[in-house]
A = this chain, B = another copy of it.
Amino acid sequence: MSRPIILGIVGDSAAGKTTLTRGIAQVLGPENVTLICTDDYHRYDRTQRAEIGITALHPDCNYLDIMQQHLSLLRTGQPILKPVYSHKTGTFEPPQYIKPNKFVIIEGLLGYSTRAARDAYDVKVYLAPPEPVRAAWKIKRDTQKRGYTPEQVLAELEKREPDSEQYIRPQRQWSDIVVSFYPTKEEENETNGHLNVRLVLRPSIPHPDFTQITDSGNGDSQSAVRLGLDRDMGKPVDVLEVDGHATLEQVTNIEHIMCSDMPYLKNICDREINPELGKIAGTTGETLQSYPLALTQLIITYHMLKATQIYQ
């Protein structure tokens, strides 16, 4: 029996969850994808949170048991009646009937916080940009889209820090892939197009065999594409780094490694078929092409497609 393949995108506020989620939905085909944001499972609206003095990051501020129940239902292909929280008004709207498509992407703050929730995902991604980058992203978004001043956003970040430390960041340990976009030292004010990416590949799911990168001599410390062993939260992992100035040739090389294992991915890698791959809005709204983002989207897509082969 066929069941949906479920991807988790977890990370702190303004870590880039929605941007990555939309990019992957674009690659998989929006008509095949159901998008769910776990902020909808807030227990209190904005006014109640202020009264109680609780942040949205705190487990007690969310119906985590219901979130987990809905994840389990979606995993077996059942519909759910999802609550709806509006970030615009800070209140709840009528619930929404959701029948899962072939792929389900769950993005949110606390998606990996319970065992049963974690068991529902096929692929678990954690977003961990450096904190200064996240602060810059949060200021940009919350001033432009949610009507806050930069000072309010910074105060909010400070208020939330203890909960981020205690409840959000520990979830990194449960992820299969940790994604960190970061600027080079020379471009610390650059927040988008030319960011590098550091991908932690935990051996909790079978990643493509990237050791060829090292073998070909292209993966040394001077190269724009590097593979190396490291520890993440104390456990051994592979780390794949791709710089923003990597060449199309270097990027194509990595894509071939993934495609050899997964012929169907070839179409997705083809930039003529998939002009959206790695596209991102620049600081002034212009569209930029980011190879690090393209490769991040591709490796996640690789695992989503792989899961359809295993389970269906």
Contact surface of A with B, Cβ cutoff 8 Å: 41, 43, 45, 63, 65-66, 69, 73, 78-81, 83, 91-95, 97
Docked complex Cα distance between A81 and B97 (Å) = 13
Which residues on B sit within 8 Å (CB–CB) of A63?
81, 97
Docked complex Cα distance between A109 and B89 (Å) = 34
Docked complex Cα distance between A260 and B91 (Å) = 54
The answer to whether A95 and B97 have CB atoms under 8 Å apart is no
- A56 CB, nearest partner CB in chain B, Å: 15
Nearest CB in chain B to that of A79: its residue:
B65
How many monomers of this chain does the complex have? 2
The answer to whether A83 and B95 have CB atoms under 8 Å apart is yes
A81 partner, pick from B45, B78, B83, B91, beta carbons under 8 A: B83
Docked complex Cα distance between A78 and B73 (Å) = 13
The answer to whether B97 and A79 have CB atoms under 8 Å apart is no
Which residues on B sit within 8 Å (CB–CB) of A95?
83, 92, 95
The answer to whether A80 and B66 have CB atoms under 8 Å apart is yes
Docked complex Cα distance between A89 and B65 (Å) = 30
A94 partner, pick from B78, B81, B92, B97, beta carbons under 8 A: B92
Known contacts A63-B97, A69-B73; 9 additional CB pairs below 8 A are: A63-B81, A65-B79, A66-B79, A66-B97, A69-B78, A81-B83, A92-B93, A92-B94, A95-B95
The answer to whether B81 and A66 have CB atoms under 8 Å apart is yes
Name the residue in A43, A73, A79, A95 with the highest tally of chain B Cβ atoms < 10 Å from its Cβ.
Answer: A95
Nearest CB in chain B to that of A82: its residue:
B81
Which residues on B sit within 8 Å (CB–CB) of A81?
41, 63, 66, 81, 83
- A277 CB, nearest partner CB in chain B, Å: 37
- A45 CB, nearest partner CB in chain B, Å: 7
Nearest CB in chain B to that of A81: its residue:
B66
- A36 CB, nearest partner CB in chain B, Å: 14
Docked complex Cα distance between A83 and B97 (Å) = 11
- A47 CB, nearest partner CB in chain B, Å: 12
Which residues on B sit within 8 Å (CB–CB) of A65?
79
